[in-house]
Every structure is written in structure tokens, then in C-alpha cells.
Amino acid sequence: MQRRAFLHHGGTAALATSLVSSLPPKDGNAVEPTQETPVTPATVSLGIMGMQRGLALAKEFLKLPGVSIRYACDPDRKRAEAGVEAIRESSPQVEAIGDFQKMLDDPSVDAIVCAAPNHWHGPATILACQAGKHVYVEKPCSHNPAEGEWMTRAAEKFNRCVQVGTQRRSSLGIQEAMQKLHSGVIGKVYYSQARYFASRGSIGSQSPSEPPPELDYPQWLGPAPAQPFRTNVVHYNWHWFWDFGNGELGNNGIHMLDLARWGLQSTSPIRVISSGGRYAFEDDQQTPDTQIVSFEFADGKQILYEGLSCSPHSESAFVSFHGTDGSMDLDEGGSYRIYNRRNQKIEEAKATGQGMQEHLANFLDAVRSNDPKRLNQPIREGHLSTLLCHLGNIAQRTGRILRFDPQSQQILEDPKQQSLWERPYADGWRDRLAT
């Protein structure tokens, strides 16, 4: 059986030490896997988009069996070439490119890894699905709510595996903690607190300038509206500008909110309130450095997110859950502690890791099986968690309470808030994406 046929019809993979079962023979009788005969998984060919976070992901993917990196893509030529040099020994066929369309046009590429800036997450994923590629897309999965909806439809229409990079969904310790929450270890869970604290500095103020010669700036902008280049936006600080990023709520808050929503077993909120602003520095950043967001759900449950980008002090847990019979503190590495109603610690588990390798292995397993149902964090779930970030930011930007209908997935009675459901696009881009 040729490699691509194998990728679309069977085979499973896990971590580097895992065994995979054989394909069933033509008569349809399954072959029982054996512990004595490891089976080498079929090679999955990847194109990596965005060679900052993407380079870290490429190195993690290459620790797993049956992975080949075909392209290192970045509009900054130096970054693309540096990415190639960093992984060439493990993946000799890797090529540096600036335009991700080449990955879509290459039939040998099985999946795209999108680790580009947020304004590329939705467009790259949708176009990759249309081209028949599977996608691993970094968090937050989308730049705006409309793109999350379009991504979900594209993945389902083209039957593609789209895994969102909230890797704690694959952490063994966190999975165990969630199983205990859902089995009632602290009774009925009704409230969760999510927190992120960091010590970011100022990005200063910069006037427009010419981009460096190694950067294809129009390619970097891609679907975003045209605007002058500024050195304090590219490469990392785009996170703090609404045209490209989603602030700290989308950058890191997504990890906590995904766990909080998972633990509460909630979907979309009915009311969102956000307060905060920019307090630490006077510079070019647009997004809040301090933000408190409350999410209320129809079943009476609630999430409170507290994010401080420029104040690192915190003695609280990453995420905490509170129920009728006690509480649970959950750390980012998979540790958890359970307390009874008298605040006595009754159980503790040590960290098992954030689940990065398990998450990538889970994606490869789904790709080899051509089965999106195997994914630990498919786009539909990833979109629901990312939507919390978008709704929090819309409430913050408009300065008003946001009311939401979980059934219709629409903002209620506020045209200004609803206008932020989408974003302006460069000419011709929206028609390519709104599938």
C-alpha cells in the first residue's frame, strides 16, 4: 500500500516508545498487535508555518517516529533558513520557503502546522483544509469568532483532522484531574477561577519605517489590512495589536479558560463582563495589560479570569474549581490538590507534564487514521474555548456587558459588539475563507 493510501486508511501512533497495530488484511479480519513485533508508523510529511513557535514544534514532532518536515515557512528569509539549519540533520529534505501556498500545492505534504501570528491561524487552516491537508493550529485557534466558525465548517466539510494547540488536553495528570472532577470528587462543580501573571516590559513607541530586506512584509500581513511596518510590532509584539493578535487573554488566557470550561463541562456563556485596561506603561500597545473577565453560563456556572501581563506575583493556582463538597487546585504541569469543605487537603498528585508530546502524538494518530474523532482537542472544542477569549475582548473593547445566545451563537442586542464578530480583510480574502 502506498504511503498516502496508508495515511488515509489506517495505522495508529503514539509516543516514540509506542507500538502501532497492523492494517487489517484484505479479507477484513483484524490482525492482533503483538508486544514482540513493533510496527514502524507510516511517515507523516509536515509543512511548518511560522518559524518561532513553529521551530519549537518542529523539534518536538521530530522526537516522534514517522515524521518528516518538508517545509520551513516564514516570510522572514533569515528565520526560514535558520529553521532549516536547526532541523536539517533530522529531516534532510526540509526546504525554506516564504509563501505557504507552496505547501498547499505539494501533494506530498500531509499536514500543515500553523504557528504563524494569530491573524493567519484561521485563513491558513481553512485554505489547508480546502487543499486536502490536515492541520495542527496553535492557540488561539482563530483571530475572531467568525473565523472559528468557518474553520469548524471547513474541517467538517473536508473531513480533515484539525487539532488546536491547547496541549494540556493531552496531559495525563490533567486528564486524571478532569475525570475526578466529572465523577463528583468535589460534588457539583459550579465555579472556576483562571489566572495568568507575567512580567512583560514596555514595547515603546515607534514610527513607521521600511521593513528589513529579509522580510516579505506584504506576505507577513497576508489577510490583514495593509498598514505600515513598525519594528515594535514584528516579530513578537503583534500579540498586543488588535489587527494581528488577541492580547494576553488570547495569548495565554486561552490555556486557563480551556481547562476551566472543560472542568465545568460548559459550552458558551450567556453573559460576559470585562474590566481593566493599560496601566503599567505608556507605549504603542493596544490590548489590556490588566484584565478581569467574568463568564456566566445558563446552567448557573461561572468562570472568573484574572490576567496581569506586567505583574508576576501570584500565590494562587493556575486554575481552581469549586463545588458543593470541596475544591481542586490545578497547576499548569498537571499537579492537582483536592480539598474538602473544611479546606483540608485530602488528595494530591504530582506533575506529569503539560502534555506536549502526547498532544502531537495524538494528532499524528488521527492523521494516520484519517479520523478527526481521535483528536483530543478538535477544532469544534478549540473554537468554543477560544470564543471565550473573543467575547471577553469584545466586552472589554466596547466597555459594555455582553449578552450571548449559546444556541444561535450570536451576540444579542448590541450592533457595535456584533460588528467585532468579524474583522476587516485585505482585498479578496474574505471570499476565500467564508466557506
20-75 residue pLDDT tens? 333 333 333 444 545 555 677 899 999 999 999 999 999 999 999 999 999 999 99
Q: State pLDDT tens for residues 225-240.
A: 999 999 999 999 999 9
DSSP percent split of the chain into helix, strand, coil, nearest 5: 35, 20, 45
Per the CB < 8 A criterion, the answer to whether 140 and 387 are in contact is no
| Residue 181 DSSP SS3 | helix
What angle do the packed helices 118-130 and 145-157 form, to 10 degrees? 20
Q: What does the CA dihedral 138, 144, 145, 149 come to, rounded to 10 degrees?
A: -60
Pair 10, 24: CB distance under 8 Å: yes
Instruction: Residues 3-169+357-378: name the CATH superfamily.
Output: NAD(P)-binding Rossmann-like Domain (3.40.50.720)
Per residue in 405-420, pLDDT (tens digit) is 999 999 999 999 999 9
Q: What pLDDT is recorded for position 36?
A: 57
Bridge partners for 402 per DSSP: 272
Instruction: Return mean pLDDT, the chain.
Output: 92
Output the pTM of the full model.
0.91
Bridge partners of 112, per DSSP, are: 47, 135
pLDDT in tens, 76-107: 999 999 999 999 999 999 999 999 999 999 99
Sign (positive or negative) of CA dihedral 35, 39, 44, 48:
positive
User: Residues 6 or more apart from 147 whose CB is under 8 A from it?
Assistant: 121, 122, 123, 126, 423, 433
Confidence of residue 317 (pLDDT cuts 50, 70, 90): confident
Q: In whole angstroms, what is the distance from residue 125 CA to residue 162 CA?
A: 8
Residue 117: its pLDDT value, please?
98
Rounded Cα distance, 227 and 229, in Å = 7
- The tens digit of pLDDT for each residue in 1-29 reads 333 333 333 333 344 333 333 333 333 34
Sorted by where each begins, the domain ranges of the chain are: 3-169+357-378, 170-353+384-412
Element (H, E) at 30: none
Is the CATH number of domain 170-353+384-412 3.40.50.2020?
no
Q: Provide the β-strand partners of residue 194.
A: 305, 319
In the numeric block, which cell numbers belong to residue 89? Answer: 540533520
Find, among 254, 252, 236, the residue nearest to 116 by Cα.
236
State the Cα–Cα distance between residues 10 and 417, nearest whole angstrom. 45
Residue 107 neighbours by CB under 8 Å, 6+ apart: 4
Same CATH fold assignment for domains 3-169+357-378 and 170-353+384-412: no
Determine contact, residues 101/131, Cβ cutoff 8 Å: no
